[in-house]
Amino acid sequence: MKFNKKNVGVLIVAISATFMFTGCGAKGEKFGSFKLPSENKSMLYVYRPSSFIGGGVYYDIHTNNNKDEIIGTLRNGGFIEKEITPNENTEIWAKTESKASVSIDMKPNETYCVKGGVGVGFLVGRPNLEIVDKTLCEKEIVDTQKSFD
Residues 23-39 pLDDT 10s = 444 566 888 899 999 99
The pLDDT of residue 103: 96
| Start-to-end Cα distance in the chain | 43
The pLDDT of residue 19: 35
Strands (E), 24-77: 42-47, 59-63, 69-74
- Decide if 1 is inside a domain: no
pTM of the entire predicted model: 0.79
The bridge status of strand 42-47 relative to strand 145-146 is unpaired
- Decide if 19 is inside a domain: no
The pLDDT of residue 126: 85
pLDDT greater than 80 at residue 10: no
Query: In this structure, how many other beta carbons lie within 10 angstroms of the beta carbon of residue 95?
Result: 13
pLDDT tens digit string along 57-91?
899 999 986 678 999 999 999 999 999 999 889 99
Q: What percent of the chain has pLDDT over 70?
A: 76
The gap from C-alpha 16 to its chain's centroid, in whole angstroms, comes to 24
Give the structural domain span for 45: 25-146
CATH code assigned at 130: 2.60.40
- Decide if 60 is inside a domain: yes
- Decide if 16 is inside a domain: no
Q: Tell me the CA distances in angstroms from 129 to 18, 68, 74, 117, one per residue in order.
A: 27, 17, 11, 7
| Structural domain count of the chain | 1
- Decide if 130 is inside a domain: yes
Q: CA 42, CA 4: separation in Å to the nearest integer?
A: 59
- Decide if 11 is inside a domain: no
Mean pLDDT for 8-17 is 41
pLDDT greater than 90 at residue 14: no
Q: CA 137, CA 133: separation in Å to the nearest integer?
A: 6
- Decide if 75 is inside a domain: yes
Top-confidence residue, 55 or 13 = 55
